[in-house]
Amino acid sequence: MRRPRDYDAELKALTDKARQRKARKQSQLGELVMATGADGLSAEELAGALLAAASTTEAPRREAWRKRGAAFFSGQRHDAGPGAGDKPGSAAPGDGLAPSLAAESGAA
């Protein structure tokens, strides 16, 4: 005779795994913020830049951010200096952050 499944134990294991993944993702995003130098921004500035990046639907801008992020991760760092932020609506601190979300989902 087969043993009955322990649904409570399976649910607990899945919950623990989800909690670990969430903590890992938060840690990686925090490390990314520090690695890009965006930790020097205030929380409001960083949130504003991320909101602008998340709401951008312009494909060329997103592609430029993706390329810049890929270069960042491959070690070919570009300065996120004043040139990146001179354009109105430019979210220089978010330039390296938008690709990280794609990397988290395995798209990049």
Closest-CA residue to 47 (of 95, 93, 99): 93
Give the pLDDT score at 80. Answer: 52
User: What are the Cα distances from residue 64, in Å, to 11, 54, 94, 102?
Assistant: 42, 14, 12, 14
Q: State the Cα–Cα distance between residues 101 and 6, nearest whole angstrom.
A: 35
Cβ atoms within 10 A of the Cβ of 56, count? Answer: 15
- What is the tens place of the pLDDT at every residue in 18-77? 999 999 999 999 999 999 999 999 999 999 999 999 999 999 999 999 999 999 999 875
- What number is the average pLDDT over the span 72-92? 56
User: Which single residue is written with the structure tokens 């988290």?
Assistant: 104
Which pTM value belongs to this model? 0.59
Give the pLDDT score at 37. Answer: 94
